[in-house]
Amino acid sequence: MNTRSYIPAFFLAFFLLCSVTLPAYAPALSLQEEVSNAIKLGNASALAKYFNTSLDLVVPGQEITCSKTQAEQILKDFFQKNPPKSFKINHQGASKDGSQFSIGTYISTADKSFRTYFLLKKSGANTLIQQLQFETE
């Protein structure tokens, strides 16, 4: 038996094992990153997955407390009128009660700029969006 013939087979097996298992260990996105990505895409349905049963919503011309379903419809309309060009988080923080917030800038394809704010609060076992604001800059 020649040990040289086993060395390439070992490296091939090791490489295949790593290429299959390593992607499973990729770090998960934080909730703030997932919300941010949904905003970047202008995807109201993806964003609604993180809404509390009711939330405070501000978009140009509306400032309401509404249901999860109503908020999703309002955001679909907002994103349709203001398709995303870019979204960038400028500041993030957390409070002692575990709430997390993000402040960013949403720019539409028409180069309209919106100061964006979202507040994540614990609701039962989950952390969900309690406030979401898009204010014209």
So where are the chain's domains? 29-136
Convert the pLDDT of each residue in 89-111 to its tens digit. Answer: 999 999 998 899 999 999 999 99
Cβ neighbours of residue 75 closer than 8 Å, sequence gap 6 or more? 44, 47, 48, 57, 59, 132
Whether residue 75 contacts residue 44, with contact meaning beta carbons closer than 8 Å, is answered with yes
Q: Are the CB atoms for 107 and 61 separated by under 8 Å?
A: no
pTM: 0.79
Using CA atoms, how far apart are residues 17 and 14, in angstroms rounded to an integer?
Answer: 5
For the segment(s) 29-136, the CATH number from 3.30.450.70, 3.10.100.10, 3.10.450.50, 3.30.70.270 is 3.10.450.50
**In this predicted model, what pLDDT tens digit does every residue of 70-85 receive, in sequence order?**
999 999 999 999 999 9
The helix/strand/coil state of 106 is strand
